[in-house]
Structure 1
Amino acid sequence: MIFGNNDGDGRLLQVIASKHSQVTLHGIYAEVAVANRQIALIHYPEPARRLAQSGQFDLVCYGHDHIKHVESIGECLLVNPGEIMGRFGEPGWGLYDCESGRYERRLLTT
Structure 2
Amino acid sequence: MEEEVQTNTHELDEETLFVVSQTFKALSDPTRIRILNLLCCEEHSVNEITETLNLGQSTVSHQLRFLKNLRLVKFRREGTTLFYSTDDNHVMNLLHQAIDHAKHQ
| TM score, norm. by length of structure 2 | 0.24
Structure (1/2) with the larger helix percentage: 2
Say which one has the larger Rg.
2
Structure (1/2) with the larger strand percentage: 1
